[in-house]
């Protein structure tokens, strides 16, 4: 790997450190290089805070004091996403870089957001800065697939998740069945901390009584989404406790009660996945894990509204029960999590 790719790879590593805290912003990493040495680096702060480029510049300022601006002007910038060009929670990063006038800026990919797309690059070039676009572009787009999906498709990025036995069952009617091992369960809690929301249906909420929180990992609890058409879930159910906010999509009422928001959907069963995802898009939800039972998972599969599937295959068998969802996807990765086999697919 050449040095330019190494520096951009470092940007992608840094960007990943913002997972679970920057949404609905993208994850971005920035590196400043002088004479073959990284003199400053940063990643986007939790939502509302400084962006990656600002944090990288601040690191240089703190290290070198009065010499910092001169050193930056002799440096090369690497950033995993086009610097922003508009005023939002923070000033435009493109303007800041233009004022500092580094020798060159490498950008992995353009920002598809209408207020940025190409405008950040234009600001830099108008300032006389050489700009190169496309270094590790494919990797950068994949890293921010949640952001790109929300901007391009007006819906959250949808991750399907379930565990199934060796003989293809995900559970048995009316009772809770643990299929995956403890290591897999901890990994799921890590995933919850990285995504904005998590969704289950009525049956899962009744039978499993899940909290859908991050108990075995450090991070923020996701927004809990419950599909409960007739409001059959008891008020003391774990999913309605005060450990996280919950939205209940139903056919009965719209109402706020403490941390629970009830949203009535007209014609509840009609285009339900589409309606839910659009409502969540309007709430700035950028990603969601579907952790429901077979009917809920299959509903999103049949509507062609999913992007990624994470399937644990256990060595155990049930012989009978609820069959795993049926879907077609491209296998991206297969690895052991203790004695479970985790397979990750993307939609073809």
Going residue by residue through the chain, which has 348 residues, state the pLDDT in tens, using 9 for 90 and above. Answer: 699 999 999 999 999 999 999 999 999 999 999 999 999 999 999 988 899 999 999 999 999 999 999 999 999 999 999 999 877 667 889 999 999 999 999 999 999 987 888 899 999 999 999 999 999 999 999 999 999 999 999 999 999 999 999 999 998 887 888 899 999 999 999 999 999 999 999 999 999 999 999 988 889 999 999 999 999 999 999 999 999 999 999 999 999 988 999 999 999 989 999 999 999 999 999 999 999 799 999 999 999 999 999 999 999 999 888 999 999 999 999 999 999 999 999 998
Q: What is the pLDDT of residue 1?
A: 60
The model's pLDDT over 331-347, given as tens digits with 9 standing for 90+, comes to 999 999 999 999 999 99
Both tokens of 277, joined, read 């995802």
Q: What is the pLDDT of residue 178?
A: 85
The model's pLDDT over 188-197, given as tens digits with 9 standing for 90+, comes to 999 999 999 9
Q: What is the pLDDT of residue 93?
A: 93
Contact assessment for residue 30 and residue 41, using Cβ atoms and an 8 Å cutoff: yes
Q: What is the pLDDT of residue 31?
A: 98
Handedness of CA 263, 268, 269, 275 (dihedral sign): negative
For the chain, domain boundaries:
3-150, 155-347
Contact assessment for residue 184 and residue 163, using Cβ atoms and an 8 Å cutoff: yes
155-347: CATH number = 3.40.430.10
Binding-site residue ranges for substrate: 192, 212, 215, 291
Q: In this structure, what are the phi and psi dihedrals at residue 3, rounded to the nearest 5 degrees? A: -65, -40
pTM: 0.93
Binding-site residue ranges for NADP(+): 163, 178, 204, 208
Q: In this structure, what are the phi and psi dihedrals at residue 96, rounded to the nearest 5 degrees? A: -60, -45
3-150: CATH number = 3.40.140.10
Binding-site residue ranges for Zn(2+): 51, 84, 93
The model's pLDDT over 100-110, given as tens digits with 9 standing for 90+, comes to 999 999 999 99
Contact assessment for residue 269 and residue 276, using Cβ atoms and an 8 Å cutoff: no
Residues taking part in catalysis: 53
The model's pLDDT over 114-149, given as tens digits with 9 standing for 90+, comes to 788 889 999 999 999 999 999 999 999 999 999 999
Domains 3-150 and 155-347 share a fold: no
Instruction: Write down the mean pLDDT value for the chain.
Output: 94
The model's pLDDT over 276-289, given as tens digits with 9 standing for 90+, comes to 999 999 999 999 99
Q: What is the pLDDT of residue 58?
A: 96
Our CA angle for 3, 96, 116, nearest 5°, is 85
User: Whose CA is closest to 260, among 235, 285, 281, 282?
Assistant: 235
């Amino acid at each position: 790997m050449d040095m330019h790719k190494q520096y951009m790879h470092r940007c992608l590593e840094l960007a990943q450190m913002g997972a679970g805290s920057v949404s609905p912003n993208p994850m971005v990493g920035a590196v400043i290089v002088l004479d073959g040495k990284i003199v400053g680096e940063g990643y986007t702060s939790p939502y509302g805070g400084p962006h990656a480029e600002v944090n990288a510049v601040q690191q240089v300022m703190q290290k070198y004091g009065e010499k910092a601006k001169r050193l930056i002007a002799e440096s090369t910038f690497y950033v995993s996403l086009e610097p922003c060009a508009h005023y939002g929670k923070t000033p435009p990063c493109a303007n800041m870089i233009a004022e500092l006038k580094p020798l060159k800026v490498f950008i992995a990919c353009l920002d598809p957001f209408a207020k940025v797309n190409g405008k950040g690059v234009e600001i830099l070039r108008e300032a006389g800065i050489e700009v190169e676009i496309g270094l590790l572009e494919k990797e950068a787009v994949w890293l921010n697939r949640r952001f790109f999906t929300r901007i391009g498709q007006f819906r959250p990025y949808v991750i399907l998740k379930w565990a199934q036995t060796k003989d293809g069952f995900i559970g048995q009617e009316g009772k809770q069945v643990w299929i995956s091992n403890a290591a897999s369960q901890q990994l799921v809690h890590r995933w919850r901390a990285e995504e904005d929301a998590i969704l289950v249906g009525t049956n899962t909420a009744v039978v499993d009584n899940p909290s859908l929180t991050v108990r075995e990992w450090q991070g923020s609890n996701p927004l809990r989404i419950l599909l409960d058409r007739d409001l059959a879930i008891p008020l003391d159910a774990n999913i309605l406790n005060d450990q996280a906010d919950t939205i209940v999509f139903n056919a009965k009422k719209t109402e706020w009660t403490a941390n629970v928001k009830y949203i009535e959907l007209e014609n509840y069963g009609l285009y339900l996945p589409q309606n839910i995802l659009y409502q969540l898009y309007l709430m700035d939800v950028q990603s969601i894990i579907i952790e429901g039972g077979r009917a809920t998972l299959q509903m999103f599969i049949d509507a062609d509204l999913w992007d990624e599937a994470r399937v644990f295959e256990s060595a155990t068998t049930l012989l009978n029960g609820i069959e795993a969802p049926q879907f077609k996807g491209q296998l991206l990765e297969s690895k052991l999590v203790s004695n479970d086999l985790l397979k990750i697919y993307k939609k073809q």
